[in-house]
Structure 1
Amino acid sequence: MMKNNTSSSILSSSFLTLRWGAALDTASEGTLAGVLLSYTFPTTALVLLTSIVLFLIQFGSKKNGNKGGANKLPPGPTPWPLFGNIPELLSKRPAFRWIHKVMKEMNTEIACIRLGNVHIIPVTCPEIAREFLKKQDATFASRPITMGTEYSSRGFLSVAVAPWGEQWKKMRRVVASEVLSPAKLKWLLDKRTEEADNLLHFIYNQCTSSNNGHHGAVVDVRVASRNYSGNVIRKLMFNKRYFGKGSPDGGPGEEELEHVDSLFTVLSLLYAFNVSDYIPKLRSLDLDGHEKIMRAATKIVNKYHDKVIDERIQMWRGTGNTDDGFVLLNKEPEDLLDILVSLKEADGKPLLSTDEIKAQSADLIYASVDNPSNAVEWALAEMINQPEILKKAVAEIDRVVGKDRLVQESDFAQLSYVKACCREAFRLHPIAPFNLPHMSTSDATVAGHFIPKGSHVLLSRVGLGRNPKVWTDPLKFDPERHLGGESVELAEPDLRFISFSTGRRGCMGVPLGSAMTVMLMARLLQGFEWSPPPGQTEIDLAESATDLFLAEPLRSLAKPRLPAHMYQAN
């Protein structure tokens, strides 16, 4: 039964986030998380019984009431006493699909799902979303704390995951002014271009090494696009493409495959509706099995990052205490890690501790690998099934760039149709069901509804981008809907869909993320002809049951369309 949720007993907590695009509800199939997720899954009855006991002990004396006066909480499913909608959370996975189903059945664009004593507020209306992140942004500028973000951020030290406070302000200043500033992005242009060249080299080698020769080869686009994204951010951060030797054809080695797989596993569990995030006393039981998965995945990520970072700190700060040593003066920075390590206080001491450097380095890497690769994989799959769209995009590249040189970032301003294809992929096929959660720091009223302090506001990427009140034929891939203005940008400030987050906690990496996405798309289209694999007439566009990726990685027949010398790489 559904009714207005008027409970207002609140367990005030901070709940954190890491993503510049949002984490998934469950672990992706085929990843480390997918393998381990089935390790343990207790019965709902056991969880409910434990929850009842804990809540009776800790919160039994509190009584529910309507703190909003005449205002009421947004509509939602009737919560069970004490533990709210946790039974549904456990029995109707993935939770994001259940939440969207509830909202559709109730015909509401804002809802309230109570988990334990925490109010979850999903939103699918752009107007209401703007009220949260523009009109009342200051009230909703903090982040909730989760088990996943604690692991990923080394205790909430990095900008994307730190709750509102001095640590967040410190790291935001560092990232905005020293790491992702326009000057730094320009400085790193050659490194990004080098990885775009290597992308073509990698795919071309697959085409020419196959038995089909010049007829091309079936390419795993997911591997290629994730490999490109991983290469770019590793080059920008660590000035290296590979942690190991890589593959002779320019592709990833076993180290890079393990690294990227672990990055995606971590991202999938940052905000995975973990029971202990709402009932902290249950965390030691690891009822969902998520903590074991997260611990293993972050251990792998740190294994690759920490060695590089420790060596770099030693090089810059000498043999003393690495947090208090003196920065060497005779070296120029070569990458973003050098920037982080060499930052100084006014008295000459290092600005960032070793743990802060490690946390922020990982933060930037997590934020860079998923959004571009997912958008381009989906866009290319849709375009192969609509050849007229594919032809228009290729024709634009040939007209603006030609076939005698490769697409460069300086060409992007003239590639409106290519950018419209990327933008449409962000709208229709977001990387995650919800934006990074925003937590209210005080009671508020939004769209006539009472939003209690401590509520977790989730802007629905799926609900906004596929809202039939906003978009005509919302489930159709149609880049034309984004044309007609002065320019085409991948960001959407009016929150009609979410490519990159906005507001005080908005993504500072929009220029970098946009550049990576457009370059990946443009180079794939310029370098190769794409069609369904032999024996298929179209690509299967089925969405995964557990997340928003393609159910099966995109495998497509690629044929080189440029002179052979254009595919050489450094």
Structure 2
Amino acid sequence: MKIETRLPSLLAILYFSVSLIFLKLIYSIKKRSTAPPPPLPPGPPAYPVVGSLPEMLSKKPAFRWMHNLMQKLNTEILCVRLGGVHVIAVASPELSREFLKKHDAAFASRPDAVSARLISDGYSALILSPAGEQWKKMRRVMVSEVLAAGVFRRFHSTRREEADHLVRYVYSRRNGAVNVRDAARHYCANLIRKMVFGERFFGAGMDDGGPGNEEREHVDGLFTMLSYLYGFAIADFVPWLEVFDLDGHKRIVSNAIKKVRKYQDPLINERMEMWQLGLKTQQDDILDLLINLKSESDETKPLLSLREIKVQILEIMIATVDNPSNAAEWALAEMINQPDIFAKACEELDRVVGKNRLVEESDLPNLNYVKACVKEAFRLHPLAPFNPTHVSSKDLVVGGYLIPKGSHVLLSRPGLGRNPRVWDEPLRFKPGRHIVDESSEVVLVDHELRMLSFSTGRRGCPGIVLGSTISTMLLARLIQGFSWRPPLGMDNIDLVESGHDLTLAKPLIAHATPRLDSQIYL
């Protein structure tokens, strides 16, 4: 009887306990669902609709304004709203690895930008195309065909010939001042033109082996495109303003494209016709290779259209001329001001190569200090302030911050390479910092993203081997072949950056004195 009277009480207590637990569970779920979202990265206050566009336009260049903001806010990740777009700048290696490694798939695409769309002719090539089938197709072409190991080896003699031309060109100016920027940029351009078209010049060139007017216009056009690529055009953030071209970016890029393609496209058209008429049957260069790629589904059909070939060649040109020439110019300027570094590089070259022949690509694995000089130039003096823009395909939390879908993500090259938390004496040119021990070979890429020479991840640079080889050979030949000193009346090279980009404010002009026997230069 007592058990029967106590049972309802026990059941009531049980029901109450279960109900209490259930209510608590519902409350906790509701609390989590209504919890505030993670904050955006630090950034300046923004106006409605236009965001921080007015401030960006009044404080050009935009990249310096953004880096100044990062310093002012003491942050390694910055969020600036431009129009309706969140622009995220990153100077932290840890956060950079989250973006390009941990969450690589979510940031593997590119945004729509006026400059990129014009240069890529509607995103028909590799580097600037959004993620998708066209990007996958062109990446297969570049990785498996154009930049394959066999193709790289095949053009060894071409690269060697251009390195010989470089030495002879500087030797011809041994009694006067040498414009190192001019020589370095045209070395890179001549080399890639020879690999692509089989000819280093579009015209006759100059009697001393230097570039003619055609080559100068071609290279100027390439560097103009590079200057404005993802260059914070107003229309990139307020698309309906593109028709007005308020900042002139569209006009400037369009004119540069015309200058470059007026030399390239006729050669491509002519070569295509030669293959179609059976007047050419042997593949001699990259253009021949691209023309003769066949569709996997139908081997009677070409894989690439004429339009795709023209645009991909334009991208190849842009990707080859910039970083090697800039790194060599800055490295040599720094080494002229620090003769002990120059002497150490010369000692390595004399020990590994000797003085009876010029340095060859086969010597490069043993030239750790020379490669360290190139890498240090990449770290301290990058050409572009940011890597090509990534865009977020979805809302994501990175480093505790919300990165909204559609955000433009920019890894800061100077922000990473000059980060005082990462690098000792970050503003000093110290090549030795890259040599861990004598048994480890120096490589120019840093996969830990403490600096950004070549990008990594899905949108990583597929031309690391070619880019590293060109960069190292360029500097090695300049150092081995010549002793360098400032122009007459100057004790040092003025290492001041340009106001509108990261190049030397003035092209490096220096006197070159041959270091080797005169017969070697002939």
Instruction: Indicate whether the TM-score tops 0.5.
Output: yes
1:478 corresponding residue in structure 2: 430
Please say if 1:345 is aligned against 2:295. yes
Higher helix share: 2
Q: Distance in 2 between matches of 1:451 and 1:544?
A: 32
Q: Distance in 2 between matches of 1:549 and 1:119?
A: 28
CA contact (8 A) 1:217 1:559 kept: no
CA contact (8 A) 1:68 1:450 kept: no
Uncovered stretches (5+) of structure 1, i.e. residues with no partner: 1-65, 208-215, 319-327
Following superposition, the deviation at residue 329 of structure 1 comes to: 10
For 1:312, the aligned partner's letter is: R
1:152 corresponding residue in structure 2: 119
Q: Distance in 2 between matches of 1:141 and 1:500?
A: 15
- Write the mapping of 1:259-278 to structure 2, written as runs, cut at 5 A: 259-278=218-237
Please say if 1:386 is aligned against 2:338. yes
Please say if 1:515 is aligned against 2:440. no
CA contact (8 A) 2:274 2:280 kept: no
For 2:237, the aligned partner's letter is: Y
For 2:54, the aligned partner's letter is: P
Please say if 1:256 is aligned against 2:204. no
Q: How many residues align?
A: 486
- Write the mapping of 1:439-454 to structure 2, written as runs, cut at 5 A: 439-454=391-406
Following superposition, the deviation at residue 274 of structure 1 comes to: 0.3
Q: Distance in 2 between matches of 1:429 and 1:345?
A: 42
Q: Deviations over 1:315-371 (max 9, x none)?
A: 1123xxxxxxxxx59722111111000111142111100000001011101000010
Following superposition, the deviation at residue 141 of structure 1 comes to: 0.1
Please say if 1:427 is aligned against 2:379. yes
Q: Distance in 1 between matches of 2:344 and 2:87?
A: 43
Q: Distance in 1 between matches of 2:123 and 2:36?
A: 36
Q: Distance in 1 between matches of 2:207 and 2:167?
A: 14
Specify the SS of the correspondent of 2:172. helix
2:281 corresponding residue in structure 1: 331
Specify the SS of the correspondent of 1:464. helix
Following superposition, the deviation at residue 270 of structure 1 comes to: 1.1
2:204 corresponding residue in structure 1: 245
Specify the SS of the correspondent of 1:112. strand
Following superposition, the deviation at residue 197 of structure 1 comes to: 0.2
Please say if 1:113 is aligned against 2:113. no
For 1:313, the aligned partner's letter is: M
Comparing 476-485 with 356-365, greater Cα deviation is found at 476-485
Following superposition, the deviation at residue 151 of structure 1 comes to: 1.3
2:168 corresponding residue in structure 1: 201
2:498 corresponding residue in structure 1: 544
Q: Deviations over 1:139-193 (max 9, x none)?
A: 0000011111111111110100110000000000000000001111001111000
Please say if 1:492 is aligned against 2:446. yes
For the aligned residues, what is the CA RMSD?
1.3
Following superposition, the deviation at residue 403 of structure 1 comes to: 1.1
Match of 1:418 among 343, 355, 370: 370
CA contact (8 A) 1:501 1:507 kept: yes
Please say if 1:553 is aligned against 2:503. no
Q: Distance in 2 between matches of 1:560 and 1:256?
A: 27
Following superposition, the deviation at residue 68 of structure 1 comes to: 9.3
Following superposition, the deviation at residue 70 of structure 1 comes to: 2.9
Match of 1:467 among 419, 425, 441: 419
Q: Distance in 1 between matches of 2:337 and 2:409?
A: 36
Q: Distance in 1 between matches of 2:359 and 2:67?
A: 40
Please say if 1:532 is aligned against 2:491. no
Q: Distance in 2 between matches of 1:85 and 1:515?
A: 41
- Write the mapping of 1:351-366 to structure 2, written as runs, cut at 5 A: 351-366=303-318
For 1:163, the aligned partner's letter is: P
1:323 corresponding residue in structure 2: none
Specify the SS of the correspondent of 2:78. coil
Q: Deviations over 1:30-82 (max 9, x none)?
A: xxxxxxxxxxxxxxxxxxxxxxxxxxxxxxxxxxxx99943011110001011
- Write the mapping of 1:249-328 to structure 2, written as runs, cut at 5 A: 249-318=208-277
Comparing 167-176 with 330-339, greater Cα deviation is found at 330-339
2:189 corresponding residue in structure 1: 230
**Based on CA coordinates, which of the two structures has the bigger radius of gyration?**
2
Q: Distance in 1 between matches of 2:169 and 2:57?
A: 43
For 1:122, the aligned partner's letter is: A
For 1:535, the aligned partner's letter is: G
Following superposition, the deviation at residue 564 of structure 1 comes to: 1.9
For 2:198, the aligned partner's letter is: N
- Write the mapping of 1:362-381 to structure 2, written as runs, cut at 5 A: 362-381=314-333
- Write the mapping of 1:390-405 to structure 2, written as runs, cut at 5 A: 390-405=342-357
Question: CA distance change for structure 1 residues 330 and 368 in 2, over 3 Å: closer, same or farther?
Answer: closer
| TM-score calculated relative to the size of structure 2 | 0.92
2:96 corresponding residue in structure 1: 129
Q: Distance in 2 between matches of 1:519 and 1:94?
A: 33
CA contact (8 A) 1:435 1:458 kept: yes
Please say if 1:82 is aligned against 2:36. no
Specify the SS of the correspondent of 1:288. coil
Uncovered stretches (5+) of structure 2, i.e. residues with no partner: 1-32
CA contact (8 A) 1:206 1:249 kept: no
Question: CA distance change for structure 1 residues 329 and 250 in 2, over 3 Å: closer, same or farther?
Answer: closer
CA contact (8 A) 2:293 2:303 kept: yes
Specify the SS of the correspondent of 1:77. coil
| TM-score calculated relative to the size of structure 1 | 0.84
Specify the SS of the correspondent of 2:458. coil
Q: Distance in 2 between matches of 1:365 and 1:552?
A: 24
Specify the SS of the correspondent of 2:423. coil
Following superposition, the deviation at residue 398 of structure 1 comes to: 0.6
Following superposition, the deviation at residue 111 of structure 1 comes to: 1.1
For 1:156, the aligned partner's letter is: Y
Q: Deviations over 1:253-274 (max 9, x none)?
A: 1111110011000111111100
